[in-house]
Amino acid sequence: MIDLVIGDRAEVEVGAPAHGGHCVARHEGIVWFIRHALPGERVIASVTEVHKGFVRADAVEILVPSASRVQAPCPYARPDACGGCDLQHAAPQAQLDWKAAVVEEQLARLGGIKRSVTVEPLPGNGFGWRTRVRYRVDAIGRPGLLKHRSNEVVPLERCLIAHESIQALDVLQRTWPDRDVIEVVSPANGKAQIVENQRIVEHAAGHDFDLDAGAFWQVHPAAADTLVDTVLGMLKPQRGERAWDLYGGAGLFSVALADRGCEVTLVDIATEARWPNVTVMESPVERARLPKRTDLVVLDPPRTGAGARVTKLVTSAAPRAVAYVACDPAALARDLKTFAENGWHLADLRAFDLFPQTHHVECVALLTP
């Protein structure tokens, strides 16, 4: 039993980063998951949660700092404030190394795969990139963002990772007594605006995408094209090949494959995608009535991953290659293990920093039988 309570403090040596935006430390036989620390540091950590077998904590005093530690530019990037940015206290290269270490650890521990990973940055300085922001509103109408693992709203004057056009709006300078949530979007074609019931236009892969303003789209301006280029580079689609785009959403990968001459089937539980040479099936992927065979598959599941049933659906169709786009390295590692158990091989993997200042990382894996 752990004899600690919330608010207890201890001096600890900080270990390696772990999935979720914290580092692992061990103190007096107890595992500590510590936010706002860096590997190799010695810190005073304050307990924020007590669980069976481990505690969560914040680094509230840095006794021996890492050479990679920097002053967080945002005044809200601290333990008692906004929970949106996990890594503003880390230098840019240290953030990339952190995410690479996490992907490697998840692949090894959950997937049984030992592989060196490099996380590639996207254009920009790591700030002003987020084109979709969901502000919460507190009890007296002040907008802000949530504390880490909390429903408590931290009122803000400015969010530094929000796109510059979103920062230019007066959303954070007003009160919103009749709202609980304010969603703001900065589309590729158009000005930043509060999401109501309007349509917006995004642009990627050489096409305009006419979308509901609240529809899913990658939040980094360079993300969509980066992922399309990576998937096409891995799959090398040939004219006349059949392709499945599973969890296809707006059809980003479908239209890119169709442009290469593929006959594409897009599957998603709900989609507005309507493109030439793309057959749309509105259905849960695991229940889709797909053809028995295909040549290529793009698999872009939600954060929970594809799971064994969808993996079996894919492998039984005997494609020559699968591109798996993953926003969660743990789910990716579990699914890669399932692919391996069905005789498939991880042929290539690239990782991208689509979400600077946060612990999130996007991976694209190439699987071949």
In a domain, 81, yes or no: no
Residues 186 and 249 in one domain: no
pLDDT of 54: 97
d(CA 296, CA 263): 10
Distances (CA, A) of 10 to 18, 25, 28, 33, 57: 20, 11, 10, 13, 10
321-356: pLDDT as tens digits: 999 999 999 999 999 999 999 999 999 999 999 999
Residues 324 and 240 in one domain: yes
| Catalytic pick among 23, 74, 327, 363 | 327
Q: What is the mean pLDDT of the chain?
A: 97
Residues 107 and 154 in one domain: no
Out of 184, 212, 240, a domain closes at 212
Residues 192 and 240 in one domain: no
* Arithmetic mean of pLDDT, 40-57: 97
pLDDT of 190: 82
Any residues with CB less than 8 A from the CB of 1 and at least 6 apart, and which?
none
The backbone torsions φ and ψ at residue 227, rounded to the nearest 5 degrees and listed phi first, read -70, -40
Residues 294 and 244 in one domain: yes
Distances (CA, A) of 154 to 36, 42, 83, 96, 354: 17, 28, 9, 27, 24
- CA-closest candidate to residue 298, choices 314, 286, 282: 314
- Side chain identity at 12, as an amino acid letter? V
pLDDT of 85: 97
pLDDT of 272: 87
Query: Residue 39 sits in a domain of what CATH number?
Result: 2.40.50.140
Q: What is the model's pTM? A: 0.96
278-292: pLDDT as tens digits: 999 999 999 999 999
78-134: pLDDT as tens digits: 999 999 999 999 999 999 999 999 999 999 999 999 999 999 999 999 999 999 999
174-190: pLDDT as tens digits: 999 999 999 999 999 88
- CA-closest candidate to residue 232, choices 194, 211, 260, 204: 260
Residue 181 structural domain? 132-212
The pLDDT confidence band at residue 1, using thresholds 50, 70 and 90, is confident
pLDDT of 140: 97
Tokens 């053809």 belong to 291
Decide: 293 and 239 in contact? Cβ < 8 Å.
no
In a domain, 88, yes or no: no
Residues 102 and 144 in one domain: no
Within 10 Å of residue 208's Cβ, how many Cβ atoms?
11
Within 10 Å of residue 165's Cβ, how many Cβ atoms?
17
Q: Domain tally for the chain?
A: 3
Query: Residue 315 sits in a domain of what CATH number?
Result: 3.40.50.150
pLDDT of 367: 98
pLDDT of 241: 98
In a domain, 103, yes or no: yes
Residues 363 and 226 in one domain: yes
d(CA 38, CA 329): 20
Tokens 């793309």 belong to 278
129-139: pLDDT as tens digits: 999 999 999 99
pLDDT of 355: 98
pLDDT of 103: 98
Out of 195, 212, 229, a domain closes at 212
Is residue 85 part of the annotated active site? The answer reads no
d(CA 151, CA 136): 9
